[in-house]
Structure 1
């Protein structure tokens, strides 16, 4: 539960591009979080023949997350050599209520209806401040940003699926529909530095975080109000008809409509009391939009024994009808036509060998905020502008999976391959030090100016091999895994800003290529239920290049982790649990080294006659060395960043394994193992609280 449900878009991506609707993603947050959470699940069957099945859950949590962060970002060829060095602090309080239910009614032998209502409410109170400098050949500028916001909103919706068989096996009709509505409020007070870049170096030595910021700071204070609402309607009709003993054809029609309204008003105030103020149209943005998407197409399905082949093709038309609400009321209308496809094949060659293949395409249309011809000067040092000429992205995806499993010998081999390429990729066009820019009568001199444009040539290729076998004399299993991932991301650098249109002319294309190699080896015990150990090592080597870099040099770095876990159950029910992990990050091009050792030790005692309970006392991060360090690369930059971690702490915990639920409950604990949610977290039912407590299976996690 150290995460939140982002129905407000507070993490920068909530809601989705087309309608701003909550997409029920659960996102992790950096920093140290204090959490209170409670949840309840209920399930039952009703009716004389148990033809109605109900599952429902209510979940609540509140989080308080504090984070101290650092960023060291080096701009390098083909960019102007510069360094960005910042320190940040944030404190975010959040409250989440979530209700989900599923009602399935087997109306008759040939008819079935499933309804899924949902409701969520979120309140979010983030406070943050970032201070630092950007300096180098481009000059010197001060980073001074502050924000204190209060956001709250709700999302309510339902979906329903009705299926009926029409007498003949394989002849069916499916009706699928959903409705969702959200209403959000977003109020904030903030300030940022609007002082132009200076060519004069600050004093006080070489440490940029110690330079005197007084002569490099001119703060602009803002009070903003941004209520928004949106709704979505979706429906589909599918008809299937058998054409042979093992084959079906189908016809599907889908339609969806997403509507959104937003009215952001920003007032420039005199000081940090954030009272009164004058409305600033450049920092305000009110719009309304509607996206209508329709698709229709045939499908084919063949299924015999355990072999399946499915193919669908769709003609898709998307139409955006929007309006920027301001003095000149800019209209935005676009229509897009595409053909998309989906194919899936599963071939079981024999008992030991199987193949799975997925091939598909999909589109992502630009939103009204992407298309509006407005400046964004909310960060005066990083100004951006929309692009009314953006086109939808069109992506092709391939996933291949081969498995060889020898049950008698306990050996397993797997090969995975995936490919993703995008036409008209939405790429950034970035100009460093564009010079003085006059916007609505006010002069700006930003570090960076950017727009977006469509570029072909985005690629991501990944392949992965895995092999596992038992080691008899150790009574253990050994697994080795190796993989390669290649990513090519296009962008544009340089050019001239057109003061009349806000667009960038000229510039050169830069392809950032990243090649990563990873390897992992794991030795896991299978000795007895009283001895459990795991030894593992994994490492990743990365190389990044920029096509505009004249010397074609590579940015190379490596990180690896060696880890061991042990749990022993002694006579009389005493237990010992320990783990140790050594992690190291090494930079070859930019020389750096970061490493730490994380150790956890626990002592416990099994209790009760059936040994289902366990009391444990322990310490996490025994040597208080934990770190949250990461390195990333992009178009003309390399970045190191750190975030807060909890460090050493002590804990007493009690676990009890329940093995029977209700009159019809199973006595087998495996029936109640946590299931994977769509976000990857473990849950004990639909939308319910977190999975088994630490130590329930293999000690604390």
Structure 2
């Protein structure tokens, strides 16, 4: 360790001597038309030397105030400022200067005729600058009521899942920005749904760098797939939003016995308002409903007992499991209320602040049935469960960025949350001999009921300081994070257990206990990163990270005392005290080479050392002090090639170490389910994952086509897998007797796990029907080993499928989308005794249509056809889900709306899932608590104070505002804003 630190120090001292002069160029860009800042204007350093353009820092974008900073180390420099629909600005920088302020740069509108602008807009929807693709919103037709999310769905290669997750060219979008600012950082989906599509000028897609890489110019290879939504002129000083209310018919459902139950009338009420005043933006959203629309992503309650995460190969610290202290009714029917507040402000050029507050209350209930066949154990199980839960959560987040000088930047982030989960759940579990469901000799059963409550408090903060040290690219980043958490929970359990007995026929036993849990923990982490340019094209980085986490957990269980008629008998299975801590050290070196836009190379090497200490006590038993040490060397490499504009090839290779979790290591029994007991294995070793990924993308914006293909291979060493067996007799484990025929599980290390897959998609316009088509295919193979009753069990899974999406671009009056997802799943489970083969062929066809019959009258419809054919008995599924609505607009600018909506018209909604686990278990799940057919009547009002605002009219006339919009599009692009380069 000392030698490694000595080598790092020596390297830093040596490369520091290579300093050379640099010139810092700043300025502000405004529009001559209205004098407002131009957001997202592209500022290019030495644009005539195209071989250098893709180097970090060569192409930047103006921020929300129209300002930019670019640094050059060449003797002679020039600056080009470009923007869609405006003339380029060009100037030369005199040699010998170290700081140049270009002042205010005024961009002139392009001289282009109206007809030419319309032709260009139809033929070219986007432009490419470096890694950024910027789409012109005016080139995509959406209904007047569409949101930014609806507009995004029409972009080539973009898919939006039902939960709001966004994917672009096969990559998940992890950050959404509006005019260069993060908006609802904890839930970016809210940014898309709160912003109307007619307020969007353009949308840019790019692979953003990490915060440290953007500041230092040292490309660390990390990429964050990001979109930036640029709004139209006038939106930055406006108030807009909507409010709605709806009331519907009663909701009914049939339980497993076919009994009809009434849950009462459906309702939905809510709204949102955005108040934007230049550099200060406020957004408020909220609502209440009982139609499963939760609005915000509800984080898991019980996070107080969790530890730190992140870091390649870092040991996971999930603290103490709180699963038995929570009631989960998700997947059922939920009545929820939510409130969200977001503020984003720029006070000066040096200080930016973002504040977000979310509240959610959710009351849910669920009714489910599960059946499974266990190949190895030659048994089948049936379980039925019901749950009623109450979740209440408050969360507050703030983010401050302060740049006191041009060479210093400070980031301070805080997060505070409180969560409460309480509820009631009940379950019945039964096991029988044989692989055939619901047949065979009785083995055992348990009838359980739980009443739970868990409160959690979390406090997190981070402070980072970044300093530029004179030479372009030479930077130092120092910072740290801290967190504290607390959890308090209670669980009351009553279980009646039956077991088959050769002597008495059936043995009976009862569990009647209460358990109290108190946890607390804290985490402290610190790191520094030093970046140094070696040559004009090469840079090196050194880093060190220290992380310390400590968790305390005190769990006390008491059994019922029939004589005293109270809970006062200590339950040894659930009473324990745990005190554990983790310390991890990570140090590494990274090398980056970028010459021209054609080649970027990254190499990295990390050394990680982790220590865990654990002490535990149980009644009459003290676990000896346990200490675990892990270490790993983790190399990584990335090669990125850009043969020409619009094309890219990327190769990633890395080796990650994964350390066992606390649950997997700790020699403690988990007896939440007395018929299925588990325990950790302190002799586990760390596992390794070797990963190779290749990605190729080509975009042709002349004909608006895009092709993307990706292939990956992952090979795992010493995988931590389940070791499960059925006890053939009563067995004492850790001082507790586990009954015969119970399932006992632990963990072990096995080799042989690996998988590979490929994904390809092609998007193109279909001019004949004025629509866009995206066609994709995918395949994945996975091999997963496990141990079952001492036998090696291997599951081989082959999954192939496709995704075909057709989106309309006909007009604002006709908007439709058709999606088709076929898939084929072939699985083979092999062990020394049996081989099981299953096949599942599924089809999912979805469609949505929004059509304006007149200026005021419209119809909506969406539907899905689901077809599943399987080798498993009684698992085929065929059903249709159809929803439809009719409504009309009224008031000025059609701001008011009345609509009648019918859901699940054919009353075929259902939830059935068939799955095959890697251990050979075949499972079947039914959800009886689902929304089915109902009708809702709703009213909605939209408002927008934009000056001269004219919603995109369904009329054919050319309004002055519409004409100015087209004129501003210039050579096929959007208006102000949109490009977020790096």
Normalised-by-shorter TM-score class: 0.7 to 0.9
> For 1:71, which of 348, 364, 370 is the aligned residue?
370
**CA positional deviation for 1:430:** 0.9
Q: Report if the CA contact (8 A) 1:518-1:540 is conserved.
A: yes
SS in 2 for 1:571: coil
1:93 aligns with 2:390: yes
1:19 aligns with 2:313: no
Q: What is the alpha-carbon distance in structure 2 between the residues aligned to residue 87 and residue 201 of structure 1?
A: 27
1:413 aligns with 2:707: yes
Q: What is the alpha-carbon distance in structure 2 between the residues aligned to residue 131 and residue 367 of structure 1?
A: 30
Q: Which residue of 2 aligns with 1:149?
A: 452
Q: Which residue of 1 aligns with 2:511?
A: 220
Q: Deviations over 1:404-457 (max 9, x none)?
A: 222122222111223333222111111124322135374612431111011122
Q: Which residue of 2 aligns with 1:322?
A: 614
**CA positional deviation for 1:13:** 8.6
Q: What is the alpha-carbon distance in structure 1 between the residues aligned to residue 865 and residue 670 of structure 2?
A: 44
1:576 aligns with 2:576: no
Q: What is the alpha-carbon distance in structure 1 between the residues aligned to residue 378 and residue 306 of structure 2?
A: 31
Q: What is the alpha-carbon distance in structure 1 between the residues aligned to residue 951 and residue 589 of structure 2?
A: 45
SS in 2 for 1:434: coil
**CA positional deviation for 1:127:** 1.5
Q: Report if the CA contact (8 A) 1:522-1:537 is conserved.
A: yes
Q: Report if the CA contact (8 A) 2:797-2:826 is conserved.
A: yes
Q: Report if the CA contact (8 A) 2:447-2:497 is conserved.
A: no
1:484 aligns with 2:779: yes
> For 1:637, which of 901, 921, 927 is the aligned residue?
921
After the TM superposition, which of the residue ranges 367-376 and 482-491 deviates more from structure 2? Answer: 367-376
Distance verdict in 2 for CA 1:51–1:402, change over 3 Å:
same
Distance verdict in 2 for CA 1:84–1:201, change over 3 Å:
farther
Q: Which residue of 1 aligns with 2:288?
A: none
Q: What is the alpha-carbon distance in structure 2 between the residues aligned to residue 334 and residue 583 of structure 1?
A: 50
Distance verdict in 2 for CA 1:7–1:666, change over 3 Å:
farther
Q: Deviations over 1:205-260 (max 9, x none)?
A: xxxxxxxxxx5652211210111111111111000100111221010001101111
> For 2:555, which of 252, 260, 264 is the aligned residue?
264
Distance verdict in 2 for CA 1:110–1:134, change over 3 Å:
same
Q: Deviations over 1:550-575 (max 9, x none)?
A: 56441111221112211101223211
Q: Which residue of 2 aligns with 1:499?
A: none
1:51 aligns with 2:350: yes
> For 1:622, which of 905, 909, 914 is the aligned residue?
905
Alignment of 1:98-247 (within 5 A): 98-137=395-434, 139-198=442-501, 217-247=508-538
Q: Report if the CA contact (8 A) 1:290-1:321 is conserved.
A: yes
Distance verdict in 2 for CA 1:200–1:647, change over 3 Å:
farther
Q: What is the alpha-carbon distance in structure 1 between the residues aligned to residue 501 and residue 460 of structure 2?
A: 52
Q: Report if the CA contact (8 A) 2:329-2:365 is conserved.
A: no
Q: Which residue of 2 aligns with 1:294?
A: 585
Q: What is the alpha-carbon distance in structure 2 between the residues aligned to residue 567 and residue 633 of structure 1?
A: 39
SS in 1 for 2:473: coil
**CA positional deviation for 1:330:** 2.0
Q: Deviations over 1:326-368 (max 9, x none)?
A: 3324211011110113333332221232123333333332244
Taking structure 1 as the reference length, the TM-score comes to 0.85
SS in 2 for 1:297: strand
Q: Which residue of 2 aligns with 1:594?
A: 877
Q: What is the alpha-carbon distance in structure 2 between the residues aligned to residue 173 and residue 28 of structure 1?
A: 48
Give aligned pairs, total.
635
1:450 aligns with 2:745: yes
Taking structure 2 as the reference length, the TM-score comes to 0.61
Q: Which has the larger radius of gyration?
A: 2
SS in 2 for 1:277: strand
Q: Report if the CA contact (8 A) 2:483-2:524 is conserved.
A: yes
**CA positional deviation for 1:606:** 3.0
Alignment of 1:533-544 (within 5 A): 533-544=816-827
Q: Which residue of 1 aligns with 2:763?
A: 468
Q: Report if the CA contact (8 A) 1:31-1:66 is conserved.
A: yes
SS in 2 for 1:325: strand
Q: What is the alpha-carbon distance in structure 1 between the residues aligned to residue 886 and residue 545 of structure 2?
A: 58
Q: Which residue of 2 aligns with 1:205?
A: none
Q: Deviations over 1:276-304 (max 9, x none)?
A: 13112222232111100001111112234
More strand by share: 1
1:308 aligns with 2:600: yes
SS in 2 for 1:572: coil
Q: Which residue of 2 aligns with 1:374?
A: 668
**CA positional deviation for 1:161:** 1.8
Q: Deviations over 1:639-668 (max 9, x none)?
A: 01022211223334455566668x9x9999
Q: What is the alpha-carbon distance in structure 1 between the residues aligned to residue 514 and residue 625 of structure 2?
A: 27
Unaligned runs of 5+ residues in structure 2 are 1-293, 310-314, 322-327, 435-440, 953-982
Alignment of 1:642-661 (within 5 A): 642-643=926-927, 644-655=929-940
Q: What is the alpha-carbon distance in structure 1 between the residues aligned to residue 869 and residue 502 of structure 2?
A: 34
Instruction: Tell me how large the CA RMSD over aligned residues is.
Output: 2.9
Q: What is the alpha-carbon distance in structure 1 between the residues aligned to residue 565 and residue 772 of structure 2?
A: 63
1:423 aligns with 2:714: no
